[in-house]
Amino acid sequence: MKIFYLPEVLDTAAAPDLLENLKMLSEDILLDGREVKRLGGRCLEILLSARKTALSKGKNFKIQNLSHEMEKSLVLMGAKRILDEETT
């Protein structure tokens, strides 16, 4: 499984690139969030949609190595628990 490293800034401007990169992943989705310093609502929507799509196709979705900033943003936006759920 190939790891996709998330960029430092996941804001509205980064959303189109994030969407295109996730669409290109044909296997299980494994993301690494160690570099993320800022996570905005639009990119969170894309991550949640990618998770839903992957699960509907019987694939796994996981974000590993969350940076402190990314984890804090996910908690503040109420999505940490959803993205932490086991998908296998």
Q: State which amino acid sits at residue 75.
A: V
Q: What is the pLDDT of residues 30-87, one digit of tens each?
A: 999 999 999 999 999 999 999 999 999 999 999 999 999 999 999 999 998 887 775 5
Q: Where are the alpha helices (DSSP H) in 1-88?
A: 15-23, 41-56, 68-76, 80-84
Fold classification of 3-84 (topology level):
Transcription Regulator spoIIAA (3.30.750)
State residue 83 phi and psi, 5-degree precision. -75, -20
Nearest to 77 by CA among 31, 35, 46: 46
Question: Residues 72, 76, 82, 85: is their CA dihedral positive or negative?
Answer: positive
pTM for the full model?
0.91
CA-to-CA distance for 29 and 57, rounded, in angstroms?
11
